[in-house]
Amino acid sequence: MTMVANHPDIVGRYDIEGRTDFYLVKRTELDRSAFALARIIERFGIAAGRYILTVALSQEIVQFAPFEEACTMLGFIGTNADASPMDAGRVESICRQFDAAAVCGVDAAVLQGLDEAGHALGPIFAGRIIWARPDAYHRLAALEGATVLRCAKIGPALALECLEKGGLHLDGREWALSAPERTIRMTSRMARIHPLDDVDTGVAGTVDHSACACGSRDPRVILRD
Amino acid sequence: MRMVVSTAVEGRTAYPDYLDPVEGLSRDDLNRLQEAGVMAMCHRAYRRAPLIRQVWQDAGLVPSDVRSMADFVAKAPFITKDSMREFRDRHNDPAGGMGHFGPGEILSIGTTSGTTGDPTPIPSGSRASTEDTFTRDLWHHGLRPGDYHTALAFTFRGGFRRRMVQELNIAEIIVSMAPGEIPFLCEASKRFRPTTMASVSNPLLLALEQYFERTGEDPVEVFKSYKAAIFGGEPLSVRLGALAKSWGLDLYENTGVGDVSSAAECKARAGMHAYEDVTYLECIDPDGADPVPDGGLGELVVTSLSENYLPIVRYRTGDLVSMDRSQCACGRNHVRFKVLGRTSDQIIVEGRTILPRELMMLIEQHSETRAGLFQIIRTAREMDALKLRVGYDAGRLSDGQDRLGQRLRDDLTAAIGVRVEIELVLDQELLKLGPPHKIPRVTKA
């Protein structure tokens, strides 16, 4: 039998130093991230009991499981679809069936799948809060009637934009960020089973450490388009 | 029941054989547990699920009319996926009449694959029954605290809320079921040396075969730590099962049980065990309501005993099964069944019943069609010819497309004894019809 004291709960993936590698976490680390995300999401005033759709890939568990957990903490009902063209029909079906209040993680692959299936984007996303990934943001931002914000994976974390649109918030207690050159570097501040020390996330952008108008003191990542 | 407890032996922990002691119950104990569970679920479902209440009222029944298992089998009405969809559409109820829940009661809504229509919602609380039964199966196959388990997800439609395996101090390596994920699956297998893997599918095995052929990597070295791999989605291809065996990968078949539980083969491989503390299973005449005795072919009917958020009562699954309630060689008494097809997949050609399962082995024996990708084109339940759309790999054509079609027609006609019409398409065209772990085996056009 193996000693389990320092055993991870989950092996996910992250992009680091120009490659994709495995990232090990404990559930308690994801729970900490969930609290940080809940602080951002609760400012949107979504009523408890509404449905929130998370669009991701299974291997993105380290980044997106905290978002799901944050939604649970806030009393929302979570539902999911794959971030792939093949599963885009599920995004349409869930938005229609459950009147999702928000959709997080929409990417270009989903938009491609919706296009291929002949779905117009407006009827699917209008009236909802959409956190779009960088490769889908500009197309969705052009839609009328949807509140379109950015989300992005920064190493093993998920960064979300608030309604102020002043950059993507990342938990400042958990991560120290810097951008000495073109890309964001991150260091873990708390005890983690897989600590990071000034690693390059490959995400092009800058970091704003000033207080956000939404009231958050977390650092914000300004993505370079 | 065997007494199995955790004991310290020379500094190592010997864990119990069964994750849950209920796995070791005798047949008599299971019967008593089930009767109590069914009675309780009738009341709960009637109270919570509008669809159940409606069909019971239509039948002039209330839960107190059901006082025994005999009453239940004689009186309780059936529901189907179609009745849930009709209820959903008629009442604008995304839960399909399975319950109205306030904030905090359910945490999430999962959805089925949607192979046969709009995905069906599956409400879920903090722990689903499927999570419980699935973990029991992994434990049976040797997964223990301190181990790694490779969790292959068909798609992300279930979310990340399941944590029962992790709570046992087992690390889950999360991998998507996609060709691009194969290098990560192999790398994770070598780096973390997992004990179990679930769920493997025919398309995944095909992608692995192509990967190993292309890279020259040794599959035996990659998979040498695995004690078992759970296979699901559709029937296991005979050829791919043998191929996986040659890699050192022991595959055990698994299936869903009415979306409220799961069933998997144990090491005895004598059918898939369904846990009878979680569901009550019946096998009935697909064209009526008469019970089919053990060993006969009938439709699987499921009543949930523990899933509060999907309180199905006598749900006709459409799965054609044969059941066995005798004690298994593994020591457990929980019912086993084999899935032979779907009622909706069944076609009759020249008076002969044909199911997709029996065609796969005949198709995959040709090099060009080794992927076993095909669809039955079913324009009516009874047809005068078996019409098939078969996928092929153009790179493996040896004597042209026409000759391949002729060889397939000859083999199938000789084996099945009916007229066969074949339309050949590229493998990729059929794989696009996903979800990735299976393709629709029967289509109308």
> How does pLDDT run across B369-382, given as a tens digit for each residue?
998 889 989 888 88
Task: For residue B2, name the pLDDT band (cuts at 50, 70, 90).
Answer: very low
Closest Cβ opposite residue B111 in set A13, A57, A90: A90
> How does pLDDT run across B221-263, given as a tens digit for each residue?
999 999 999 999 778 888 999 999 999 999 999 999 988 999 9
Q: B159, A68 in Cβ contact below 8 A?
A: yes
B432 chain-A contacts, CB cut-off 8 A: 86
B157 chain-A contacts, CB cut-off 8 A: 80-82, 87, 90
Which of 38-67 (A) contact B at CB < 8 A?
Answer: 48-49, 51, 54-59, 61, 64-65
Closest Cβ opposite residue B94 in set A75, A84, A97: A97
Burial class (CB in 10 A: 0-12, 13-18, 19+), A109: buried
ipTM: 0.95
> Which among A71, A60, A122, A72 has a CA at the least distance from the CA of A92?
A122
Would you say residue A182 has pLDDT above 50? yes
CB proximity B119 to A under 8 Å: yes
Q: Where are the beta strands (DSSP E) in B26-103?
A: 79-80
> How does pLDDT run across B388-432, given as a tens digit for each residue?
999 999 999 988 999 999 999 999 999 888 999 999 999 888 887
A55 chain-B contacts, CB cut-off 8 A: 156
* Alpha carbon distance A150, A138 (integer Å): 10
Q: Which of A96-100, B333-337, B437-441 has the highest mean pLDDT?
A: B333-337
Question: Residue B19 to residues A7, A132, B136, B137, B299: CA-CA distances in angstroms?
Answer: 20, 42, 6, 9, 30
Q: pTM for this structure?
A: 0.90
Match 């002949």 to its residue by tokens: A118
- Chain A's closest residue to B154, CA to CA, is A58
Closest Cβ opposite residue A77 in set B106, B111, B147: B106
CB proximity B147 to A under 8 Å: yes
> How does pLDDT run across B172-220, given as a tens digit for each residue?
999 998 888 999 999 999 999 999 999 999 889 989 999 999 999 999 9
Q: B120, B73 in Cβ contact below 8 A?
A: no
| Interface contact flag, A59 B166, Cβ < 8 Å | no
| Interface contact flag, B169 A7, Cβ < 8 Å | yes
Q: Which residue of A87, A92, A96, A116 to mutate against B (max B Cβ within 10 Å)?
A: A87
- Rounded percentage of chain B residues whose pLDDT exceeds 70: 94
Dihedral angle sign, alpha carbons of residues B53, B56, B58, B64: negative
Which of 107-136 (A) contact B at CB < 8 A?
Answer: none
- Chain A's closest residue to B112, CA to CA, is A90
> How does pLDDT run across B3-53, given as a tens digit for each residue?
444 555 455 578 999 999 999 999 999 999 999 999 999 999 999 999 999
* Alpha carbon distance A191, B199 (integer Å): 33
B156 chain-A contacts, CB cut-off 8 A: 54-58, 80-83, 87
> How big is the A-B interface in CB pairs under 8 Å?
140
B181 chain-A contacts, CB cut-off 8 A: 59
